[in-house]
């Protein structure tokens, strides 16, 4: 609305005002200069009220966003809301947020109303002052009575535009306040991406991943090192597991491999080349991720599997589903691959969602595979099927596995134990168990003896 209605109206009012002033200057320069002497007062009022209108508009947008967040969280967490009988608590939360938004809106409206009122009263006051000065000029013989009437008529047109200008200006200030946060987001630096074909592979890329003394801290907590001089290597085709207590930095390592962030210091290398030497799109195109909490889009099973390679044929999709142990349950659906999974895959069970995610990764055929404890939340039968599919998927690929359950990584080629952002120890499962005082041994005892 700001661009389609308000801005054109703003320009129209400006044209009328400046055009009218030019005519007034031609009619009576002295009287026009007298009238223009009042303009700074209007400018000061516009600046004063505009600041508050913009401030309240920004705050109102924030309140509305918070009320929408309450609704979104309530709907997404409806199971917990009902289970804890907190329906009325959520109603109260939403009512509070909407009331706060309404109060801010009322404040903004009051300032807009006051601004418009001052402009209108000031406009009429200015016309009276101009009329008084015009009469004096007529009495002094510096202005003809006809010119005075013409001047008053032209001033009326300009005054009407100034009155409308106040509302338009207030609307623009409101729009500026409402879009300030959006503009801050748009001003954020963007990733240097370029489009690549989903099946395009880097020639000769083997999938070696190497961390060299990497340290990292998130921008919002720059004083807190998440990783501190972390070094390890995953050779092509190796399975490297990352273990450690919660908050040790395992997920951050994966985020750096995917290049969602850049290290604060140290070097990340792929196939002995600095990560910066590869384009973001082309290096990510060599990877696939199977997360713990699988996200499926609200389309069909076919669309979710082919997300790994959108140009894949139906035969390739079916083959990927078979390798992921997903074809059996897909075939049991009446619509098969065209079965709609619902928002975030809600129509499928946890094990089914995991196998669709694995099929997606199989179809992509990555050089580097990232697994985030993909079996931790599954029942025994689903875990068996998913683990079998993962074992097939990891063959011949560099695999980075975040592990919370040590039983799933006993066969890993190398285990990197992280603690407080540092590499505490590395080795195979058997090697690490021999260190009675090691962190891995302690974690193993906690899991296997309880």
**Share in percent of the chain as helix, strand, coil (round to 5):** 60, 15, 25
What CA–CA distance (Å, rounded) separates 180 from 189? 16
Domains of the chain: 2-186 (1.20.1560.10), 209-448 (3.40.50.300)
Tally the residues of the chain: 450
pLDDT exceeds cutoff 80 at 70: yes
Instruction: Give the C-alpha distances (Å, rounded to integers) separating 114 from 14, 38, 118.
Output: 22, 19, 6
Banded pLDDT at 29 (limits 50, 70, 90) = confident
pLDDT at position 246: 82
pLDDT at position 346: 82
Give tens-digit pLDDT for 172-214: 666 666 666 666 666 666 666 565 554 556 677 888 889 999 9
Region for 343 from its dihedrals, namely left if φ exceeds 0, alpha if ψ lies in -120 to 50, beta otherwise? beta
Annotate 121-179 with DSSP letters as a single string. HHHHHHHHHHHHHHHHHHHTTSS-HHHHHHHHHHHHHHHHHHHHHHHHHHHHHHHHHHH
pLDDT exceeds cutoff 70 at 85: yes
Mean pLDDT across the chain: 79
Helix (H, G, I), strand (E, B) or coil at 349: coil
Distance of CA 387 to the CA centre of its chain: 33
Six token digits for residue 141? 């013989």
Better-predicted residue by pLDDT, 64 or 183: 64
pLDDT exceeds cutoff 80 at 164: no
pLDDT at position 186: 67
What CA–CA distance (Å, rounded) separates 403 from 111? 57
Give tens-digit pLDDT for 200-209: 566 778 888 8
Instruction: Give the C-alpha distances (Å, rounded to integers) separating 438 from 161, 421, 446.
Output: 80, 16, 13
Percentage of the chain beyond pLDDT 90 is 1
pTM of the predicted structure, to 2 decimals: 0.65
pLDDT exceeds cutoff 60 at 76: yes
pLDDT exceeds cutoff 80 at 55: no
Q: Which secondary-structure segment (H or E) carries 26?
A: helix 7-27
pLDDT exceeds cutoff 70 at 344: yes
- CA torsion sign, 219 to 220 to 222 to 227? negative
Give tens-digit pLDDT for 229-269: 989 999 998 989 888 888 888 888 988 998 888 888 889 99
pLDDT exceeds cutoff 80 at 446: no
Percentage of the chain beyond pLDDT 70 is 82
pLDDT at position 235: 92
What CA–CA distance (Å, rounded) separates 236 from 22? 77
- Mean pLDDT over residues 378-405, rounded? 77
What CA–CA distance (Å, rounded) separates 323 from 359? 7
Give tens-digit pLDDT for 275-317: 888 888 888 888 888 887 788 888 888 888 888 888 888 888 8
Highest mean pLDDT among 64-73, 78-87, 292-301, 418-427 belongs to 418-427
pLDDT exceeds cutoff 80 at 371: yes
Give tens-digit pLDDT for 117-137: 777 777 777 777 778 888 888
pLDDT at position 148: 79
- Mean pLDDT over residues 64-72, rounded? 83
């Amino acid at each position: 609305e700001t661009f389609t209605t308000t801005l054109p109206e703003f320009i129209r009012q400006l044209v009328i005002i400046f055009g009218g002033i030019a005519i007034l200057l031609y009619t009576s320069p002295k009287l026009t200069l007298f009238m223009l002497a009042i303009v700074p007062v209007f400018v000061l009022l516009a600046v004063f009220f505009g600041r508050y209108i913009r401030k309240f508009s920004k705050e109102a947008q924030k309140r509305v966003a918070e009320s929408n967040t309450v609704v979104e969280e309530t709907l997404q967490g409806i199971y917990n809301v009902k289970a804890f009988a907190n329906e009325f608590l959520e109603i109260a939360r939403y009512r509070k947020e909407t009331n706060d938004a309404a109060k801010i809106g009322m404040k903004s409206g009051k300032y807009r109303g006051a601004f418009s009122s001052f402009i209108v009263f000031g406009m009429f006051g200015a016309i009276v002052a101009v009329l008084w000065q015009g009469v004096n000029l007529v009495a002094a013989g510096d202005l003809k009575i006809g010119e005075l009437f013409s001047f008053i008529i032209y001033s009326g047109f300009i005054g009407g535009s100034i009155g409308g200008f106040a509302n338009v200006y207030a609307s623009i200030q409101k729009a500026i306040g409402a879009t300030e946060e959006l503009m801050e987001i748009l001003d954020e630096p963007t990733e240097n991406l370029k489009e690549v074909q989903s099946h395009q592979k880097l020639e000769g890329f083997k999938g070696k991943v190497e961390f060299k003394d990497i340290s990292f801290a998130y921008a919002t907590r720059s004083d807190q090192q998440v990783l501190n001089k972390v070094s390890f290597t995953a050779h092509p085709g190796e399975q490297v597991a990352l273990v450690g207590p919660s908050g040790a930095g395992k997920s951050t390592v994966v985020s750096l491999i995917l290049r969602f962030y850049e290290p604060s210091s140290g070097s990340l290398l792929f196939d002995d080349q600095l990560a910066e030497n590869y384009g973001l799109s082309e290096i990510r195109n060599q990877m696939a991720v199977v997360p713990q909490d699988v996200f499926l889009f609200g389309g069909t099973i076919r669309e979710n599997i082919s997300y790994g390679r959108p140009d894949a044929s139906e035969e390739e999709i079916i083959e990927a589903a078979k390798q992921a142990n997903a074809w059996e349950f897909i075939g049991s659906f009446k619509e098969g691959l065209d079965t709609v999974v619902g928002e975030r895959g809600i129509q499928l069970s946890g094990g089914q969602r995991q196998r669709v995610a694995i099929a997606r990764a199989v179809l992509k055929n990555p050089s580097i595979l990232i697994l985030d404890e993909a079996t931790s939340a599954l029942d025994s039968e689903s875990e068996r099927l998913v683990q079998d599919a993962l074992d097939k998927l990891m063959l011949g690929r560099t695999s980075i596995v975040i592990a919370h359950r040590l039983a799933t990584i006993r066969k890993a080629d190398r285990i990197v134990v992280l603690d407080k952002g540092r590499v505490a120890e590395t080795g195979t499962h058997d090697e690490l168990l021999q260190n009675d005082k090691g962190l891995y041994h302690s974690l193993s005892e906690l899991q296997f003896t309880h």
